[in-house]
Each structure stands twice: as C-alpha cells, then as structure tokens.
Structure 1
Amino acid sequence: MARPVVRGTAAWKYFGDFRDVLLAGQVLVLQVAHPVVAAGVRDHSDYTSDPWTRLMRTGASLSIYVYGGVAGARVEAARLRALHRTFTGVADGRRYSALDPAAYAWVHATLVKVPVDVQRFFGRPLSTSELAEYYAQMCDIGRLLGVRERDLPPDWAAFERYYDSMVAGFAANRTIEELFTTIRTVRKPVEWLPDRWWLPLRRAQARGQMFLIRATLPADLRARLGLKWTEADQRRFNRFATVVRVFATPIPAGLRTAHMRWIGKLNVWFRAHPRVYARLIGGNGPGSAPRA
C-alpha cells in the first residue's frame, strides 16, 4: 500500500496540475486507439453530440477518485463499474465489454501517464523517488477502480515497458477519425454564444488541440495515424513548452491543483446531497447519467 493521496505527496502535487489539460486530446486518442475502448465509445458515448457535458463528467469523476478521499473513491469506483457493466456490443464479429480487463487497465494506464508526460513536456520531470511514490499511489487507485492486480505492472520501469508495448500495437481506426472530426466541428458550449464569436474560437481551438495531439503523441503512433510533424513544428512546440514551463513551474503545487481538489470535494458533497445537485444541475449526481 502507498501513502494516501494527501497534501505534499506525489499524486496530490501532479495529478490535478492545470497543465494536464494540455494533454486532454492526446489521452483521448490513446484511449480510443485500443480496439475495445474504440468500440465502446463508438456504440455508447455521447461525446460527439455533447462533448462539453462529457468533459465535465469526466473531470468530476477524476477529481473524486483522486482528491475525494478513500470513501469518495470507493463510491466513484462502484459507480464507474456499474455504469460500464452496461456497455457491451459486437465489434469485428466479436462480443466486447467495457469492463474487458485489458481495456479497463489501459484506460487507467493512460490517466496514470498524463501527469508524468505533462511534467516532462511543460515542467520539471519527476524524480525517481517521486515517480515511485506517484506510481504506487495510482496503483492503489487502480485497485479501488477494479483494475486486476496482474494488470498493474510492479514498478514504473515495468509500467513504461507495458505502455510502450501497447502503443506499438495500435493503428488508425474509425473512432479516432470521429474524434478528430469532433475537435474540428465541436458545437458551442452555450447556445447564447453568437456564431460570429464561436466559429473563429472553434477554428483556433481545433488548430491548437490538433497541434498538441501531434506534438505529444508517441512518434511511431503519430506516423501510423498519418499525422505530419516537421522540424519547424518541433521548434514551435519547444517554444510553447518553454513559455508554459517558465510561467507555470514557479506556481506552488497547491495552487496548480486547487481547482481539481475543490471540484473533488464539491462532487463528494453533491453525492451526499443528490437533491441539491438535481435542482442546480440536473440528473442524479455528478456523472450519473448512463453514458460512456
């Protein structure tokens, strides 16, 4: 067992860093590159029609099982497993389940990797001792979520070997293409936003999101997906990363993660007061709607 996720520990400092949002597109691509995850998202997710709500639900879930305390994490884990138990179907002539152990473990692995990559690209890489503590904490969270013990590599070095071997087996698929289309055509987050404002904003976010995806995906997978990357692109990304690093790294960890910690506490409170949540937001609780 690792130390709990409390103030000053590695997962507390890095998992909710506001810079993690810069890899949001990358982690989605890596998740749906797995054929079982791709099938589940294709058949059961509403992200193409309602990406903003999907984003809020995902943020609520992540905040709870990392920053919501052990009790909150257990409740969220039970909710997630009950939700995904309903996501089944047929892909390529074979039945699949969203709780397929290998696919379920892979989704967790992508979330484990994001904060480490974010610090490597935009901050200070984690030290050997921080990596050991962070990974042990995320393994404990994986167990709470129902990831099998044998699907959790014993240490960070073994995790990286597992991660690289998984990425090496991925290729383009229809769900990845739909994700790219959604990024380019995403509807406005609120109906009152005038189209004359939203359309240029959408083009700008699509260019930025696709650039960050191309920049941060593993190079071999980027090539297999047909995403071009040039030396000029690399220089541009290096400049961007330097700016983020210079301005964000001096900010204390408590401030860099404050938003996720407060979201976690708020959503744990909402779970204890579902009527308040229903009145203010709608639904039965944070992330409660039966969607992927």
Structure 2
Amino acid sequence: MDRPLDRYVRDGAIVAGGAAAILLQVADPVVARGVAGHSAFATDPMRRLRHTLTFVYGALAGDARQRDRVAALTDRAHDGVPGARDAEHQLWVAATLYATGRAVQERLRGPLPPGLDGEILAASAMLGTVLQVPAERWPADRAAFDAYWRDAVAALEVGDDARAIARDLLHPRRAPWWMRAGMPLVRAVTPTLLPAPIAEAYGFALRDARVAWAILRALTRITPWRLRSLPARHLLAALG
C-alpha cells in the first residue's frame, strides 16, 4: 500500500477535481443529455458523488471481483440512457477522470515524476475497459493522451443541459453541512482545472484561485493519511 500509485489512487484529496471532471464530461452534449435526464444533482448530490467515487476506487484500486461488481453496477445505472454504453463517450468520461486527477495532484504537490505519471496513465485505462472501451482505444503514452485530449476538447459544446448541471452541482440545494462548507473552495478551484475555452463557455470568471489552492494544500498536509484514504476504504468495503 506504500507504492506511489496506490497512494495516488486512494488519496481522498483527488475529490477536489470531481466537479471539474463532471463539467468536462457534460460538455459532451450526449453525456449531458444522459445526466440531465437520469441524474439528480439538485436533490441528491451525495448519491452522484458516492457512485462516482465507487466507480473510480473499484476500477483502479479494487480486485478483479470488485471491478466486475462496479462494472455491473455502472452498466445497470446506464440502462436506458442514450449513448451511455457507447465506447467513444465512455472513453471521454475516463479521460476526464485521469486528467483532472493528475491536475489536482500537480496543484497540490507539484509535477508528477514521469515514471509515476506513466503508471497512472496505464492504470487509468481500467476506467474505460471495465465497461465498453476496448483496451486499444486508451492512449498508449502521455503524447498520445495529449493529442487525444486536444482533439476531444476542441469538439466539446457546452449547452443548456451542461449549464443547468453546473448550477446544480456547484450550488446544491440539498447537501450535508460538510459538503456545503466545502463548496466555496470547490467553486474557486473548479474553473482553474478546466481548459480556458470550456471555463468561459460555462460563464466562469478566469481567476488563479491561489488562496483556495493554498488552503487545500495546507489541509492536505495536516490531514492524516488514514483520514484521507477513508473514502477509498469505506467504498471498497461496500463493494464486498
């Protein structure tokens, strides 16, 4: 469990990029329509967060049985959702999770060592392959990922569904107190994790959020590992 990859995967600090990942995902209009029609950010934000984290931890940190379990649960959630099982859109969703996770870690701790970055990229293929994405579709190295990312971002279109999801996500009407307490930080850092054209399309003011990131770095330093890794342990245990 002391391997850098294991600590990266299980570090709860990565949740700071969760909103940015979702906003990138729904900037794909097909994904946005599916989420808008079959999700409930406004009424139950914890459910979406729990499901997303369960998928990530199960795919990246789980054993074969847990990966099968999380794949089955996600497939069931996608029943009847147009485009939800399409490999192209699932690849995009997986790519956003890798890209935002890496960006958060670099903001909190500085550039990742190339070897670790390569390990994380290779492991992140599982985010797609546990579902319908063929293994060969996942970029083989960082250069291939960056080329895929540039083309994919250029094709995004932030529409009304995506903007409505952003409002519900960043200003939840029903959420536990600790989530509400953390939302100002989330609202501050989320635009900094988005490509500038996408942030502008959502109507975000482009600020550097240095104070917010400094607070998050301080919180990460003082929070014991056992507490930072608690969500991973809890959700993996729930998978059985």
Task: Please say whether Structure 1 and Structure 2 have the same fold, judged by a TM-score greater than 0.5.
Answer: yes
Q: Is 1:60–1:263's contact at 8 Å kept on the other side of the alignment? A: no
Gaps of 5+ in 1: 1-6, 89-96, 270-292
Q: CA RMSD in A?
A: 2.7
> What is the correspondence of 1:1-292 to structure 2 with a 5 Å cutoff?
7-88=1-82, 97-183=83-169, 185-189=171-175, 202=180, 206-229=183-206, 233-234=207-208, 237-246=209-218, 248-249=220-221, 255=226, 257-269=228-240
Match of 1:289 in 2: none
Query: What SS class does the counterpart of residue 2 from structure 2 fall into?
Result: coil
Number of aligned positions between the proteins:
240
**What is the distance in 2 between the residues matched to 1:184 and 1:268?**
28
Secondary structure in 2 matching 1:15: helix
Q: Hey, what's the Cα distance between the residues in 2 that align with 1:13 and 1:162?
A: 27
User: 1:223 Cα shift?
Assistant: 2.4
After superposition, the Cα gap between the structure-2 partners of 1:56 and 1:98, relative to the gap in structure 1 and judged at 3 Å, is same
Cα distance in 2 for residues equivalent to 1:98 and 1:140: 17
How many angstroms apart in 2 are the aligned matches of 1:140 and 1:262?
19
Amino acid in structure 2 at the alignment position of 1:268: L
CA contact (8 A) 2:41 2:172 kept: no
Q: CA, structure 1 residues 23+265, in 2 after alignment: closer, same or farther (shift >3 Å)?
A: closer
Sort the Cα spacing of 1:157 and 1:260 in 2 relative to 1 into closer, same or farther, 3 A: farther
Q: Aligned partner of 2:193: which letter?
A: T
Deviations 1:158-178 (A, max 9, x none): 112211221122232112211
Give, in angstroms, the shift of residue 106 of structure 1. Answer: 0.6
Write the letter of the residue equivalent to 1:50. D
Give the corresponding residue for 1:285: none
Computing the radius of gyration from Cα coordinates, the structure with the larger value is 1
Q: TM-score, with normalisation over the residues of structure 2?
A: 0.86
Identity among equivalent positions (%) equals: 24
SS of alignment partner, residue 126 of structure 1 = coil
Structure number having the greater helix percentage: 2
Kindly state the Cα deviation for residue 127 of structure 1 after the two structures are TM-superposed.
0.6
Gaps of 5+ in 2: none
**Per-residue Cα deviation, 1:93-112 (whole angstroms, up to 9, x for no partner):** xxxx2111110111111111
TM-score by length of 1: 0.72
Contact 1:26 1:217 in 2 (8 A): yes
Q: Cα deviations across residues 234-258 of structure 1 (Å, max 9, x unaligned)?
A: 2xx2233234335525877x54752
